[in-house]
Amino acid sequence: MDIALLKAVNDARRARRAVVVVTDLGDGGSRLILQNQEVGGELGEAVSKAFRTGNSTTVEAAGRHLFLNIHLPQPRLVVIGAVHISQALAPMARIAGFQVEIIDPRTAFASADRFPDVKLYPDWPETILSERPLDAYSALVAVTHDPKIDDFALKAALEAGCFYVGALGSRKTHAARVERLLALGARPDDIGRIAAPIGLDIGAASPAEIAVAILAQIVRALRLRSSGDRRAKGEAA
Amino acid sequence: MENQANLDDVRDPLIIAETWKQEGRNVAVATVVETWGSAPRPVGSHLVIDADGNFHGSVSGGCVEGAVVTEAIDVIDNGMAKMLEFGVADETAWRVGLSCGGRIRVYVERLN
């Protein structure tokens, strides 16, 4: 591998673009393939599959033994609400490999003092999400309990195809939320993707335990999505 | 922190490899290309190594990294990529094998 190729791979990863590195295990040559780039033949099929499943693999194509290493964008976690749960969730999610961002227009909550070492946006989700759009490699967690902060972000997350969308609140709270999202024009099928009440059912009681339940549910959604496994949505808690 | 890179520059092996190379170090990249049975790190995982034996990342749960580092220093010296295979079936299993019982193949190449 040469440094120019490695730099291109890292640049793509920083820009949140999916890429495959194809290495010829016979002669050591390697090349970069971008998502949606036209590649024909057996290699093309294997490359599309790698982008679809996120699984790296070896493949025989045109008499060559090739290794396809898929680099999907780093999963991003956007938390709406700089609340107590978020104070625990942010460092845990960072350790688990997520790029974490917290958005909350209430500056008393969204203070650097309460959230050291986290990207913190003391502004409305409407503003921040238009500058930093959500994508399929993003998870959105809405935990403010305040419809005027949470609802826009939830709808944006469903439209962007976020791999995980979760919202804090009881079943009753969620039923009211569903009505509001329908009124905003969200599709019923999409609304059904929202994990609510949020988190795996592990009997979490404290804010930190709820953060564990949420993070576990996010990881499950991330890792089981390509399998089409119905468990991907998880058991809501 | 607005313009901070998205990736974890402290732990991401490919970012570290790029940084090391730019600093003028000689670097090898080791990649898990196949696994059988129970393997601790998935296909595509990287370990990056410099000529002094410093390394970042992992290709197993710490079972075979030492052996990969040794081989990587050879690869850095002579520039020839190598395929390594580790598993409990190896004669050296008791030394550098995988206690989990799986097998892995690791491709080691020099960063040029």
Tell me the residue ranges of DSSP E strands in chain A.
19-24, 30-34, 57-61, 64-71, 76-80, 99-103, 119-121, 138-142, 164-167
What are the domain boundaries of chain B?
13-111
Residue A57 distance to chain B (closest CA, Å): 7
pLDDT of residue B9: 66
Q: Is A60 helix (H, G, I), strand (E, B) or coil?
A: strand
Other Cβ atoms closer than 10 A to A198: 25
pLDDT of residue B11: 79
Q: Tell me if chain B has a CB within 8 Å of the CB of A69.
A: yes
Which residues of chain B are within 8 Å of residue A1 when distances are taken between CB atoms? 29, 109-112
Q: Tell me if chain B has a CB within 8 Å of the CB of A2.
A: yes
Other Cβ atoms closer than 10 A to A97: 15
ipTM of the complex: 0.83
Q: Tell me if chain A has a CB within 8 Å of the CB of B108.
A: no
- C-alpha to C-alpha distance for A163 and A141, rounded to whole angstroms: 11
- Is a pLDDT exceeding 90 seen at residue B108? yes
What are the domain boundaries of chain A?
3-71, 76-233
Q: Which of A139, A109, A140, A106 is nearest to A123 (CA)?
A: A106
Residue B107 distance to chain A (closest CA, Å): 8
Q: Which residues of chain A have pLDDT under 50?
A: 228-237
Residue B5 distance to chain A (closest CA, Å): 7
pLDDT (tens digit per residue) in B73-88: 999 999 999 999 988 5
Q: Tell me if chain B has a CB within 8 Å of the CB of A17.
A: no
Which residues of chain A are within 8 Å of residue B5 when distances are taken between CB atoms? 14
Q: Tell me if chain A has a CB within 8 Å of the CB of B85.
A: no
- C-alpha to C-alpha distance for A111 and A116, rounded to whole angstroms: 9
pLDDT of residue A230: 41
* Contact call for A1 and B29, based on CB within 8 A: yes
Interface test mutation site (partner A, options B107, B108, B110, max chain A beta carbons within 10 A): B107
Which residues of chain B are within 8 Å of residue A6 when distances are taken between CB atoms? 14, 17-18, 21, 29, 111
pLDDT (tens digit per residue) in B49-106: 999 999 999 998 877 889 999 999 999 999 999 999 988 555 554 555 566 667 899 9
* Contact call for B2 and A56, based on CB within 8 A: no
- C-alpha to C-alpha distance for A20 and A70, rounded to whole angstroms: 4
CATH topology of domain A76-233: Rossmann fold (3.40.50)
